[in-house]
């Protein structure tokens, strides 16, 4: 699948945003501190930016509102609905935090749940597609949720350390989630890389009873929408290299940096946590890029044989 910039930005940013918002909703941090207030604003900004980015790849963004209508069957629609719905508790929580400096438990918790649900919906847009076997697994939403949670706690630890309260708790939880997320992702990758193709040129053409089927001529010589959109291929060896890079940057580095923060504490903690977030975000971008680039669409059985 073509790793569209807008979609990578969208899933990464909104994942981080929802993660942070969800953690904030738990009320672990002191809502009266400036850094937590800023964290609330940051979460909303990331969510909004992500959502805006997602409209960039639309052919007719002016009609985007229509995407809210089909929540009965469409994960994309559900995601839209949830995204908008979650704004209610999130802004309420943020409002109270920023203006009144306190945490509103009911709204906060509702926000946390809805953030989770939104991330789940996002993941299910991909996870529900049978045509893309790599994505079509329960591991996909699990990864998305774990990455969001890890991101949330990472960001929260920055806020925690800078506000001087609960930094280490957040960092410790973040480490747990980071580790869990990458274990889950590793499983996802193992699955992807050992997958027996669900659809083959033989099943795609129904000609398997005659022999081995191989594409001889494409319908049209040049690339078309389908091959551009779904025919993206990344060489296996590059994929392996990149996935290691993702783990290093998005897993190992944040964990080490958070350990430094926890152990060193003091003035080193904030920069370490901030650095951890950046490393994590970079790893996540690589992970998302691979998420698309490595996934093979069933339609390519018709184009590659």
Partner 1 sequence: MKSEPHVALSEPVSDEVRKTTCYMCACRCGIDVHLKDGKVRYIEGNRDHPVNRGVLCAKGSAGIMQHYAPARLRAPLLRTGPRGSGEFKEISWDDALELATGWLDGVRHADPKKLAFFTGRDQSQSLTGFWAQQFGTPNYAAHGGFCSVNMAAAGIMTIGGAFWEFGAPDWDRTKLFVMFGVAEDHDSNPLKIGISKLKKRGARFVSVNPVRTGYSAVADNWIGIRPGTDGLLILAVIHELLKARKIDVDYIVRYSNATWLVVDAPGTAEHGLFVRDAEGKPQIFESVTEQVVALGSKGARAALSGRVELPDGRFAVPSFQLLAEKYLDPQYAPEAVAAETGVAADVIRGLAAEIARVAFDEAITIDQPWTDMNGERHEAFVGRPVSFHAMRGLSAHSNGFQTARALHMLQVLIGAVDCPGAFRFEPPYPKPIEAHPTPHGKAEHFGSNKPLSGPHLGFPRGPEDLLIDADGKPMRIDKAFSWDAPISAHGLMHMVIANAHAGDPYPIDLMFLYMANMAWNSSMNTAGVIRMLEDKDPATGAYRIPKIIYSDAYSSEMVAYADLVLPDTTYLERHDCISLLDRPISEPDAVQDAIRWPVVEPDRDVRGFQSVLIDLGARLKLPGFVDSRGKALYADYADYIVRHERRPGIGPLAGFRGSNGDRAGRGAINRNQLDRYIENGSFFSAHIPLEAQFFKHANKAYQDFAVRMGFFDEPKPVTFQLYQESLQKFRLSAEGLREPVAPETHRERILATFDPLPMWYRPFEEAAVSREDYPYHAITQRPAAMYHSWGSMNAWLRQIHTRNPLYVPGPICDEIGLVDGDWVWVISHHGRIKVEVARMEAVNSSTIWTWNAIGKRAGAWALDKDAPEAKKGFLMNHLIHELLPPKGDGMRWSNSDPVTGQAAWYDLRVRIEKAEPAEVSEPHLAAVAQPGGARPHADELRYGQEWAE
Partner 2 sequence: MTSLPSLPTPKKLGLVIDLDVCVGCHACVISCKEWNTGGYGAALSDQDPYGADVSGTFLNRIHTFEVVPEGGQVIGEAGEARIVHFPKSCLHCEDAPCVTVCPTGASYKRAEDGIVLVDESKCIGCGLCAWSCAYGAREMDLAAGVMKKCTLCVDRIYNETLKEVDRVPSCVRTCPANARHFGDLGDASSEVSRMVAERGGYDLMPEQGTRPTNKYLPPRPRKPLAASAGSAVLAENTHDAKGFFAWLDGMLDRI
Q: How far apart are CA 84 and CA 64, in angstroms?
A: 13
Rule CB under 8 A: choose which of 56, 66, 88, 264 binds partner 2: 66
Q: How far apart are CA 153 and CA 32, in angstroms?
A: 18
Q: Which residue ranges make up the site for partner 1 (CB under 8 A)? A: 216, 219-222
**Is residue 254 within 8 Å of residue 287, measured between CB atoms?**
no
Region 224-253 residues binding partner 2, contact defined as CB under 8 A: 224-226, 229-230
Q: How far apart are CA 139 and CA 187, in angstroms?
A: 8
Query: Would you tell me how many other CB atoms lie within 10 Å of the CB of residue 89?
Result: 22
Tell me: does residue 140 bind partner 2 (CB under 8 A): no
Rule CB under 8 A: choose which of 49, 52, 204, 239 binds partner 2: 204
Q: How far apart are CA 202 and CA 59, in angstroms?
A: 34
Q: How far apart are CA 159 and CA 39, in angstroms?
A: 7
Q: If contact means CB under 5 to 8 A according to the sort of partner, which of partner 1, partner 2, none does residue 63 touch?
A: partner 2
**Is residue 282 within 8 Å of residue 249, measured between CB atoms?**
yes
Tell me: does residue 196 bind partner 2 (CB under 8 A): no
Rule CB under 8 A: choose which of 11, 35, 74, 157 binds partner 2: 74
Q: If contact means CB under 5 to 8 A according to the sort of partner, which of partner 2, partner 1, none does residue 75 touch?
A: partner 2
- Residue holding tokens 């400096």? 101
Q: Count of alpha carbons within 13 Å of 137, Cβ hemisphere only? A: 19
Rule CB under 8 A: choose which of 56, 58, 183, 240 binds partner 2: 58
- Which residues are 297's β-sheet partners? 132
Q: If contact means CB under 5 to 8 A according to the sort of partner, which of partner 2, partner 1, none does residue 237 touch?
A: none
Q: How far apart are CA 106 and CA 95, in angstroms?
A: 14
In the complex, least distance from residue 216 CB atom to partner 1, rounded to whole angstroms: 7
Tell me: does residue 127 bind partner 2 (CB under 8 A): no
Q: If contact means CB under 5 to 8 A according to the sort of partner, which of partner 1, partner 2, none does residue 67 touch?
A: partner 2
Point out which span in 41-49, 129-137, 145-153, 275-283 binds partner 2 (CB under 8 A).
Answer: 129-137
In the complex, least distance from residue 217 CB atom to partner 1, rounded to whole angstroms: 8
Tell me: does residue 219 bind partner 2 (CB under 8 A): yes
**Is residue 192 within 8 Å of residue 134, measured between CB atoms?**
yes
Q: In this structure, what DSSP letter does residue 233 have? A: -
Tell me: does residue 51 bind partner 2 (CB under 8 A): no
Q: How far apart are CA 149 and CA 75, in angstroms?
A: 20
Tell me: does residue 101 bind partner 2 (CB under 8 A): no
- Residue holding tokens 């494409």? 218
Contacts with partner 2 by CB under 8 A lie at 1, 57-61, 63-64, 66-70, 72-77, 80, 125, 128-132, 198-199, 201, 203-207, 209-220, 222-226, 229-230, 297-299, 302-303, 305
């Amino acid at each position: 699948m073509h790793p569209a910039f807008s979609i990578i930005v969208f899933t990464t940013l909104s994942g981080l945003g929802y993660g942070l918002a969800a953690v904030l909703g738990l009320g672990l941090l002191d809502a009266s501190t400036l850094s937590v207030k800023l964290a609330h604003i940051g979460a909303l900004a990331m969510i909004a930016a992500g959502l805006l980015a997602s409209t960039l790849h639309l052919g007719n963004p002016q009609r985007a509102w229509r995407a809210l209508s089909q929540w009965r069957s469409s994960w994309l629609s559900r995601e839209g609905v949830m995204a908008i719905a979650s704004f209610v508790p999130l802004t309420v929580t943020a409002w109270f935090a920023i203006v009144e400096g306190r945490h509103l438990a009911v709204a906060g918790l509702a926000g946390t749940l809805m953030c989770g649900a939104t991330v789940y919906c996002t993941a299910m847009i991909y996870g529900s597609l049978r045509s893309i076997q790599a994505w079509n697994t329960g591991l996909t939403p699990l990864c998305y949720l774990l990455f969001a949670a890890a991101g949330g706690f990472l960001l929260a630890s920055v806020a925690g350390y800078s506000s001087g309260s609960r930094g280490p708790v957040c960092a410790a939880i973040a480490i747990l989630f980071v580790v869990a997320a990458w274990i889950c992702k590793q499983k996802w990758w193992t699955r992807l890389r050992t997958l027996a193709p669900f659809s083959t040129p033989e099943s795609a053409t129904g000609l398997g009873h005659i022999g081995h089927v191989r594409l001889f001529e494409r319908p049209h010589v040049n690339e078309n929408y389908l091959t551009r959109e779904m025919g993206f291929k990344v060489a296996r060896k590059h994929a392996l290299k990149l996935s290691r890079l993702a783990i290093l940057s998005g897993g190992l580095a944040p964990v080490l940096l958070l350990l430094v923060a926890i152990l060193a504490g003091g003035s080193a903690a904030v920069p370490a946590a901030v650095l951890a977030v950046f490393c994590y975000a970079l790893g996540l971008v690589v992970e998302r890029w691979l998420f698309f680039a490595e996934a093979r669409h069933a339609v390519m059985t018709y184009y590659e044989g």
